[in-house]
Amino acid sequence: MLSAIWLGPPSSAVHAQQNPPLLTKLDEFGAINCVGCHGSKDGPSFKAYSEGPLKSGKFIFLNEYEIWDKHDYHSKAFLNIDPKTSPLAKKMQDTLKYNPTEDKRCLACHATARVKDAAIKELPNIKMTGSDSWFSTTSGVSCESCHGHAKSWFGEHFLEGWRKTAVNEKADKGLNDLRDPEIRTKKCLSCHVGNQQEGKFVTHEMFAAGHPPLPAFEVATFLASQPRHYYTARENQGLRNLEKDPQFKTWEIFHYRSGELAEARNVAIGSVVTFQETIKLFLDDPKKNNSLDFSNMNCYACHHELKIPSDRQAAGFPGVPGRPLIRPTSVELFEAVASCVDPEGYPVFQQKLDTALKEFQKGFDNAPFGDPKVFKSADVMLSGLSTEVLEKVKATKFDTSKSEELFRKLLDRVDERANKSKVYLDHDTARQLIWALEVVRKDLKESGLVKYSVTDDKVQAIFGKVFSLNIRDLNSTDSNKAPLAEMVKPRMSAIENFPLNEFREAFSVYQKLFP
């Protein structure tokens, strides 16, 4: 019965070549081939899979395509760089003197590559689109952009035995293990922060031509706002059922274990990986004329109104005044997580981290837009420290007690940055910290701890005069159709007019909710 309703290709697809050479063009399976099983709860497959032997309806949504197509901005990614449909893209084309729909620097994050991610940078910048091109543009950033090219695993993945298959075997066939929060975060960050090795990087000239500034990225918050097309660990009845079966290694295969607050864990791992990937950009920057691309740095260290009196001047500077800095959003959550996973060893770790960050700061102090030689030596230290923290996070079980500790460390970090730090707290850093707090708070609330049961509306009301905690309107029936350029306008206004004192007052109210 299950095979009869499958709308995909013959099972010979299972035996397709694995691990092809880097610049071998891979067949795009296409999002449309996922519709048969993942299309809609009204579709023919839903009842068969949700009520059949696999009971997939308790494990996955089975309407993922519908959510992605109707509500997820990833499905409209290509349209946003098409000069025919986007006035902003037309303006960028006129300024940059190339068509975004035909250039790999844009298509890398706005289309689905027909090569492995590592090969995108090596592609010849010719014949980027069309039926025999290196990119598929029909569906923007679609299923295979994140889950991996499907031809070698599609024929197996709906069979019962697939759930028992080890993650490394699935990876060999091309399936990305997106249940692993480290792999998932790196996949998201490759575009939402950047990855030079994969040819995914928004340059300063792209920003100058009109590309919207990349917002601070807290992975758990952004995943929920896609909107999410999968069950969280807490919601997933299928995972809990599998855990009862001794044949299933739910931790090794699905990164799930009972008694853990998975969203708190996602915040912790996501924070460390974000720090790692930001630091990595400095190492991987091609350094044209021995200088770094400005977009590696904190945009708002330079792009802000000159005000008297100035909150920035009042806060002070970590080095030479007026120099650009590392993106502060990458550092704050990392430090909070580091203090949580090893509280006893943190004082010594903090000294090492402070030394490395001061060395990194010398890179900005030595030259107006950074000294690559200094960054390289500091990056090695910072990369080692971040790896050390990541291993400790992986070894930590975020049960209720540890998740509460993470929440308290985050509260302390916001209090430190808002009220005691000598470095200016900007809009994006403040909002990112509150995003992380709210993810952990909601996880604690859903675990049954009444003291965290404040409503989302009340939290939004507390911070409402400062910024919106909502990335987008998920209640809209047309929520992925609005031009992204229109969404950027209020965000840029909020950044420019960020009222630091009002944020301090709002945070004080929030903090008192959790004595």
Q: Please determine, for residue 484, whether its predicted confidence score (pLDDT) is greater than 60.
A: yes
Average pLDDT over residues 420-448: 94
Q: In this structure, what token pair is assigned to residue 150?
A: 């499907």
- Indicate the range of 17-21, 64-68, 72-76, 471-475 predicted with least confidence: 17-21
- Indicate the range of 52-56, 62-66, 273-277, 424-428 predicted with least confidence: 52-56
- Residue 46: pLDDT band by 50, 70, 90 thresholds? confident
- Residue 10: pLDDT band by 50, 70, 90 thresholds? very low
DSSP classification of residue 340: H
- Residue 23: pLDDT band by 50, 70, 90 thresholds? low
Average pLDDT over residues 159-173: 91
Q: Please determine, for residue 17, whether its predicted confidence score (pLDDT) is greater than 60.
A: no
In the three-class reduction of DSSP (H, G, I as helix; E, B as strand; rest coil), residue 320 is classed as coil
Q: Please determine, for residue 201, whether its predicted confidence score (pLDDT) is greater than 90.
A: yes
Phi and psi at residue 154, in whole multiples of 5°?
-60, -45
CB 217 within 8 A of CB 193: yes
As a whole number, the mean pLDDT across the chain is: 87
Q: Against a cut of 0.85, is the pTM above it? A: yes
CB 353 within 8 A of CB 385: yes
Average pLDDT over residues 258-273: 97
Burial category of 317 from C-beta neighbours within 10 Å (exposed 0-12, middle 13-18, buried 19 and up): middle
CB 176 within 8 A of CB 267: no
Q: In this structure, what token pair is assigned to residue 92?
A: 């960028």
Q: What is the C-alpha separation between 334 and 241, in angstroms, rounded? A: 34
pLDDT tens-digit readout, 351-392 = 999 999 999 999 888 888 788 888 888 888 999 999 999 999
Q: Please determine, for residue 447, whether its predicted confidence score (pLDDT) is greater than 70.
A: yes
Average pLDDT over residues 435-452: 97
- Residue 15: pLDDT band by 50, 70, 90 thresholds? very low
Which amino acid makes up residue 184?
R
CB 374 within 8 A of CB 366: yes
Average pLDDT over residues 1-27: 45
- Residue 130: pLDDT band by 50, 70, 90 thresholds? low
Task: Please give the pLDDT value at position 158.
Answer: 85
CB 232 within 8 A of CB 144: no
pLDDT tens-digit readout, 72-99 = 999 999 999 999 989 999 999 999 999 9
Angle between helices 262-284 and 372-394 (to 10 degrees): 160
Q: What is the C-alpha separation between 47 and 49, in angstroms, rounded? A: 6
Residue, of 315 and 441, whose pLDDT is higher: 441
Longest CA–CA separation in the chain, Å: 72
Q: Please determine, for residue 296, whether its predicted confidence score (pLDDT) is greater than 90.
A: no
pLDDT tens-digit readout, 213-235 = 999 999 999 999 989 999 999 99
Q: What residue has token string 């404040």?
A: 454
CB 283 within 8 A of CB 376: yes
Q: What is the C-alpha separation between 301 and 293, in angstroms, rounded? A: 15
Q: What is the C-alpha separation between 357 and 378, in angstroms, rounded? A: 7
Task: Please give the pLDDT value at position 477.
Answer: 58
Q: What is the C-alpha separation between 110 and 191, in angstroms, rounded? A: 9
Q: In this structure, what token pair is assigned to residue 291?
A: 């200088």
Pairing of strands 112-113, 135-136: antiparallel
Instruction: Report the share of the chain in percent with pLDDT over 70.
Output: 92
Phi and psi at residue 269, in whole multiples of 5°?
-65, -40
- Residue 12: pLDDT band by 50, 70, 90 thresholds? very low
Q: Please determine, for residue 198, whether its predicted confidence score (pLDDT) is greater than 50.
A: yes
Q: In this structure, what token pair is assigned to residue 270?
A: 């996501």
Question: Which bin fits 299, alpha (ψ -120 to 50), beta or left (φ > 0)?
Answer: alpha
Angle between helices 329-341 and 400-415 (to 10 degrees): 140
